Structure 1
Amino acid sequence: MAKGKAVSSKGPKVSAIKRRNISQTKASNKRKKATGKTKNKFSSTQIGKNASGAGGNLGNLGSDGEDVEEEVLPDDMVDDDHMEYLETMGQNISFVTDTIDEKKEERGDKKRRKNDEDEVADYEELPRKQFRQMETEDRKYLHLLPIKGERGIIPQVMEKTESDEEDIIEQGEEKEELVEKKREVNVTTLPETLSEVELFKLKKETLARRKMQIAKLAIRVMDSPQEALSSLKALRVMLNEEDRQVAVTVRKLVMLSLCEVFKDIAPGYHIRTRTDKEMQQKMKKDVKQLVEWEEGLVRQYQLYLQHMEDIIKACTSKKKAQGNKLPMKALQSLMEVAVKCMCELLVSLMHFNFRTNIMSVIVPLMDHSNPDIADMCCDTVKKVFKQDRQGDSTMEVVKLITSMVKSKAFSVQPRVLETFLALKIKEIKSKDPEKEVDKKMKEKKEMLKKGSRAQRKRAKREEKLTRELLEAEATENQKRKLDLNTQTIEMVFLTYFRILKKNRQSVLLPSVLEGLAKFSHLINVEFFNDLITVLRELVESGSLSYRETLHCMVTAFQILANQGGVLNIDPLRFYTHLYASLLHLHAGQDTDDTTNALECIDIMLNKRRKQVSMQRAFAFLKRLCSLSLQLLPNSTLGTLAASRDFLKVFPKTDMLLQIEETQGGGMYLPELQEPEHCNAHTTALWELHHLNRHYHPHVRRYAAHLLRKAPSEGAGSLPPSLDRKSPSQLWQEFDPSEMNFNPSIPGPGKGGKN
């Protein structure tokens, strides 16, 4: 029964195909063992045995897969044809196992392919010297492409002939010519046969091509900065133009173009370098692109600045830079352009990277022997002082200037220190911060003692709210700015005091005195006594010029007018010297000296009028009216305005307007240098009658106004355009230095009549 067979102990049923395959495998294994040592070198007896063995094995398998009794045939019964067939089949060992080894052959094909590839690679790495061993003096060979056969790679060689050698030499020459032509693409060759006109034409064409290339690259960068970083790099690479005919011009154009490009595409913030932790963080695609562009922009900007710095160093250093093929004149012209670009970048990109590096290059050039370069750098520093709102850039520049002046032992040009006059420092940090802290602590203690619990809570809330409001109003920035201004002005005064102490005969003294006169309200009280003593010695020495003397007096009056009042200092000598030096002013002298004199008189009248006696007031009023006769119209208006201030501050001085009547005894002594003893009250202001017939209409009007005792309204009063302006403002408004008439001269009327 079928069920009985299925559960019999003989095991699972094996198909006939499987049993046949098993028997074939056993037979092939036996043959391999028998023939493994001989490797296809069989004798006739062995072939017969193997054939008979194989035939017996094959004969043992029936059609249904069952075993069949073996039939052993003697050798005499085997025909010759059968023996030949068996011998030929015996040479092919796998003729029985063709069906078994199909998969092995497929695997073998893959291994062969790999082996073939390895053979090709090995052949390519072989040195060609080994093939030259075959050559002799008579025979030389050409190495041809190899042939790949069953045995592997077969090298191919052919004997050389004379024609082949000539062809090889010609091919080598052609390659060398091509290489030379490629090198000559960037450098224009100039044949000796060209005339000057042709050379000029060639240079013009080359320059036009370079200009077009620069323009295309610059426009591409400015249109899409983040996508055209490669164009920016290509434009920067053009700084190394090698064509001698247009090298200098092209480099100048590229420097100026890059300056404008960076001013246009640079962001309005400082790009900082990423930390190692930030570089490991993952970013979005847009953020990553922006970061990569910023890093590329900073890199190109740095290389651009380094190139210009190298040009400047090549010109300023005593030793000529190595590898520089341009003449010194060309380098100097490149230097001027480089300095101009760096100055513009410092002013326009003060917030951007490498600001300190640009300052360190520009500041030493302020003392350059070339006046154009020095003036350019000084003007740039003044612009930085005026445009800086935070104060950090100003402090960096002042620090560099002071260190440079000290390193050169104060032997610099006056224009270097004159840049300090452009500083916009009007307020510095208080010198007594401890008093403010003590005041706040006292208020808190009083609140704890007197105030109730509810009041204390309310005070805390108010204090917190006040702190938040101060933060919203950027009070912290204001404190930081005051700190920076304090540090800056301390460095400036330190430089000034060193020059006053050690180098009083220096050419920098006028700049120092002018700076002290401007910033005298910021000088610490501790230095007042010593500074006044030094200024008095300088004035009395007689070694100073008139302008330097006026600066000394302005500084002294500013110190005495602000915080010097608490000190026991007698300014009589300064008043005496000012009174004696006023008549040195005249129309042929620099008009800036008039403003300094008017400033001294303004301080004396407005800030120290209580310390001025009546005799001194009479003397200065008479000296101003006498001075007005020998000045230009703008200076005359300034002195008349100062005279009017005397009449208003000291009303008794109007007695000098009465010519017929005089008061007091004695006679006026104009040559006496002491204003207290010249008897100015006994004279009259007859100069105003001469000024009443002056050629300038505003001078005539002002003189008539004073002759009527300076009324504020009614007949003889001044229009608002003259009445509300100070002496310095009138001097500046009617300044004739630009050769303009104010008011303008009217043209002829009808019929040729005015």
Structure 2
Amino acid sequence: MPHGRPAKRRRLTPPVDDSKPDETIQSKDLFHRAADWDLEQDYETRSRQKRLKESNRLPTKDVEGRLEEAAHTRDQDFARDSDSFLGSDSDNAEDGIETPPTDAFESAPAIPLKQHLVQAQEEIARLAGLINEDPEEHAGSFKKLSQLAGESAHPSIKKLALASQAAVYKDTVPGYRIRAYKDEELGTKVSKDVRRTRQYEHSLVTNYQSYVRQLVGICKGRNKADGQLKSTALSCVCSLLLAIPHFNFRTELLGVVVQELGRKDSMIHFQKCIQTMEKFFDEDEDGGPALEAVSLLSKMMKGKDYDIREEVLNTFFHLRLLSELSVKSSTNRTDKPEDVSGLHGKRAKKEKFEHRSKKDRKLAKERKAVAKEMSEADAAVDFEAREKMQSETLKIVFVTYFRILKARVPHLIGAVLEGLAKFAHLINQDFFGDILEALKDIINQTEAAEASDDGEDSTDVNGERDRMRESLLATQTAFTLLSQQDAAKSASALHLDLSFFTSHVYKKLYAGSTDADIELGPKSMHLPDPYALRLSKRDNKVNVSTPVLLLTRALSAILLTPSSPPTTQVVAAFYKRLLTATLHTPEKSTKALLTLMGRIVDRHGRRLEALWYSDERKGDGVFKAEAETVEGTNIFAVGSGVWEEELLRHHYVPEVSEQVRALDKVIIGLGK
């Protein structure tokens, strides 16, 4: 006898009315009453879930040591509710318990996370080993390795798979660029080795493209919860750029780095991207990767209205243009070598129009196509093509500099002016006039702003702009432009007049000597930026010159340039004003200025003797020490002695006193 309650049965025949006599129901009456039956509705509203039977078994422990409740078998459930159509649903209604569906019992037990990570590591190591052993034989492992980093993968496994793919591709990618094969090329009849190589290259490029797209998607994602995953993806992008810059999909990888450099709300990865871009420029031997990176940076800066950090612009100083580019370049054209014209050019023109038969032209066309295909796969550097690409790179750099000068971006003016000074020997002389006019505008605006401030501090409230520094940088850049490539010798031919900058330096000597920040750099008086790069002083060499250093450089260009010697009046006026300025400058600045004055005395000692001996002065009128121009000072008039030396001999720093005595000895020695 089976245990438990017997299953309830439902009557299938309609109930019989007791008021009628006990007789056989006619078929006509049967079909008439069948319309009142609602068996389908009863079946539709019945619960489909099966109720679990309570088990009195004790819980057991699994292999991991966790407790599991004893589960009843599905056969018992099936025996209890075997007749779902005839069985009554009153039992479930009475108990009021809803049970989960039967599918819950068929799911496999979950694997612990620790064991899952170990299995993933072993699988990644196995696939990577197969690829390194024979990439062409195990080309399918690229796809299997990428599947481990799918969307449904655990973040830890995904990061491990991304890093492993980067290491595998760096070891597997060949030293040439692989072109995309067309379908008809893959289907053509070729030898077995060629077909195998084509299939392998096609698989490599396809899977590498998928991997790059995955990295780009992770890096461009806005989800802040995946910060560690984004950091891993960005590290993979940077390592691929430095390891295989010649390979396919370089533009996509550069776009990720450039995008991170343009963001201001994501400074976590800024330092890594800056170092990657600088090393990318330093190691570029072809010229094409640097040209592409500079183009992307220029477009990014223009799109953001040059609201970027100064470190991004300073990456241009790591370009290999200063040491390799020999052709003078301009902002709108690339100069050609001089040997292109002449007899060589005529021969080339004659050979170009040489008559050839149809067969020869066809053969030459086929050879040209083969040569083009081989040149795409050739990793050798074409020096002529590299020089052309470097010229285009320099053009983009100058266009960026000039646009920043036109926009007057305060925190980038220093980097731009220093960049123009560094690349001055590569600028075409035809553009010197325009550059000097732009520098004059900077100085005029600086003087107008200082006049409107009524003697207030030259630094803005936000601490980003120092007008005194901008004017000195502009003056130094102007003199540096003409000191390169014999430009000073052709200054008269180009109608370049630097008297404006000379007068500006002469006028700023007194104001500079009383500046409290004359020995401080551009960022010395500000609190450290929490997002700024933590670079040592040895690494950060851009826009760090102090005002006194800029001043001494400008004075050296004015007074000590052999190609354009100054007049006697200019030398004496500057020496007298420098001597007065040393009474107000700090100790280090005083030593620097006296060292410069010693060089001036060594070169122009004969012209300065009149300042020591009043009998040799031939000027009329009165000396005006506060004049803003050299001519208005009247340096050789009455009252223009070197009485400041007597005060400097009693200076509290012994080195200053010794330097002043050395100046006197030089002048006295010349008099003898």
* TM-score of the two chains, using structure 1 as the length reference: 0.53
* Equivalent-residue separation in structure 2 for 1:492 and 1:577 (angstroms): 28
Q: Is the Cα–Cα contact under 8 Å of residues 262 and 300 in structure 2 kept in the other structure?
A: no
Report the equivalent of 2:58.
none
Report the equivalent of 1:557.
479
Report the alpha carbon displacement of residue 405 of structure 1 after superposing the two structures with TM: 2.9
Q: Is the Cα–Cα contact under 8 Å of residues 517 and 551 in structure 1 kept in the other structure?
A: no
Unaligned runs of 5+ in 2: 1-74, 83-99, 348-378, 450-465, 523-543, 668-672
Q: Which amino acid aligns with 1:254?
A: A
* Equivalent-residue separation in structure 1 for 2:609 and 2:495 (angstroms): 34
Q: For 1:127-526, what aligned pairs fall within 5 Å after superposition?
A: 166=79, 176=103, 180-181=107-108, 184-185=110-111, 188=112, 207=117, 210-211=120-121, 214-215=124-125, 217-218=127-128, 221-222=131-132, 224-240=134-150, 242=152, 247-275=154-182, 278-282=185-189, 285-315=192-222, 328-369=223-264, 370-426=266-322, 427-428=326-327, 433=336, 436=339, 439-440=342-343, 477-501=382-406, 503-504=407-408, 507-526=411-430
* Equivalent-residue separation in structure 1 for 2:127 and 2:661 (angstroms): 69
- Check 1:254–1:476 CA distance in 2 against 1; reply closer, same or farther (3 A cut): closer
* Equivalent-residue separation in structure 2 for 1:663 and 1:552 (angstroms): 37
Q: Is the Cα–Cα contact under 8 Å of residues 294 and 393 in structure 2 kept in the other structure?
A: yes
Report the equivalent of 2:519.
587
Count of equivalent residues: 478
Q: Which amino acid aligns with 2:654?
A: R
* Equivalent-residue separation in structure 1 for 2:320 and 2:504 (angstroms): 31
- Check 1:335–1:618 CA distance in 2 against 1; reply closer, same or farther (3 A cut): farther
* Equivalent-residue separation in structure 1 for 2:135 and 2:175 (angstroms): 14
* Equivalent-residue separation in structure 2 for 1:424 and 1:279 (angstroms): 40
* Equivalent-residue separation in structure 2 for 1:673 and 1:564 (angstroms): 25
* Equivalent-residue separation in structure 2 for 1:599 and 1:620 (angstroms): 14
- Check 1:281–1:333 CA distance in 2 against 1; reply closer, same or farther (3 A cut): same
Report the equivalent of 2:641.
682
Report the alpha carbon displacement of residue 521 of structure 1 after superposing the two structures with TM: 3.3
Q: Which amino acid aligns with 2:211?
A: Y
Q: Is the Cα–Cα contact under 8 Å of residues 528 and 564 in structure 1 kept in the other structure?
A: no
- Check 1:375–1:213 CA distance in 2 against 1; reply closer, same or farther (3 A cut): same
Q: Is the Cα–Cα contact under 8 Å of residues 551 and 596 in structure 1 kept in the other structure?
A: yes
* Equivalent-residue separation in structure 2 for 1:627 and 1:214 (angstroms): 71
Report the alpha carbon displacement of residue 237 of structure 1 after superposing the two structures with TM: 2.4
* Equivalent-residue separation in structure 1 for 2:203 and 2:389 (angstroms): 33
Q: Is the Cα–Cα contact under 8 Å of residues 688 and 707 in structure 1 kept in the other structure?
A: no
Q: Is the Cα–Cα contact under 8 Å of residues 628 and 639 in structure 1 kept in the other structure?
A: no
- Check 1:403–1:605 CA distance in 2 against 1; reply closer, same or farther (3 A cut): same
* Equivalent-residue separation in structure 1 for 2:291 and 2:285 (angstroms): 12
Q: Is the Cα–Cα contact under 8 Å of residues 689 and 703 in structure 1 kept in the other structure?
A: no
Deviations 1:178-214 (A, max 9, x none): 86217x44xx5xxxxxxxxxxxxxx666556655554
- Check 1:429–1:660 CA distance in 2 against 1; reply closer, same or farther (3 A cut): closer
Larger helix percent:
1
Report the alpha carbon displacement of residue 347 of structure 1 after superposing the two structures with TM: 2.0
* Equivalent-residue separation in structure 1 for 2:649 and 2:343 (angstroms): 59
* Equivalent-residue separation in structure 1 for 2:191 and 2:345 (angstroms): 56
Report the equivalent of 1:460.
none
Report the alpha carbon displacement of residue 163 of structure 1 after superposing the two structures with TM: 8.7
Task: Report percent identity of matched pairs.
Answer: 28
* Equivalent-residue separation in structure 1 for 2:480 and 2:521 (angstroms): 25
Report the alpha carbon displacement of residue 223 of structure 1 after superposing the two structures with TM: 5.1
Report the equivalent of 1:613.
567
Q: Is the Cα–Cα contact under 8 Å of residues 181 and 202 in structure 2 kept in the other structure?
A: no
Q: Please, what is the CA RMSD of the aligned residues?
A: 4.5
Q: Which has the larger radius of gyration?
A: 1
- Check 1:386–1:641 CA distance in 2 against 1; reply closer, same or farther (3 A cut): farther
* Equivalent-residue separation in structure 2 for 1:678 and 1:211 (angstroms): 85
The alignment status of 1:693 with 2:657, answered yes or no, reads no
Q: Which amino acid aligns with 1:428?
A: V
Q: Is the Cα–Cα contact under 8 Å of residues 429 and 483 in structure 1 kept in the other structure?
A: no
- Of structures 1 and 2, the one scoring higher in RCO (CA 8 A, sep 6+) is 2
* Equivalent-residue separation in structure 1 for 2:79 and 2:649 (angstroms): 110
Q: Is the Cα–Cα contact under 8 Å of residues 277 and 315 in structure 2 kept in the other structure?
A: yes
Deviations 1:36-80 (A, max 9, x none): xxxxxxxxxxxxxxxxxxxxxxxxxxxxxxxxxxxxxxxxxxxxx
Report the alpha carbon displacement of residue 363 of structure 1 after superposing the two structures with TM: 1.7
Q: Is the Cα–Cα contact under 8 Å of residues 159 and 232 in structure 2 kept in the other structure?
A: yes
* Equivalent-residue separation in structure 2 for 1:271 and 1:423 (angstroms): 27
Unaligned runs of 5+ in 1: 1-161, 189-202, 316-327, 445-473, 711-754
Please give the secondary structure, in 2, of the residue aligned with 1:239.
coil
Report the equivalent of 1:527.
431
Please give the secondary structure, in 2, of the residue aligned with 1:180.
coil
- Check 1:523–1:432 CA distance in 2 against 1; reply closer, same or farther (3 A cut): closer
- Check 1:167–1:497 CA distance in 2 against 1; reply closer, same or farther (3 A cut): same
Report the alpha carbon displacement of residue 496 of structure 1 after superposing the two structures with TM: 3.0
* TM-score of the two chains, using structure 2 as the length reference: 0.59
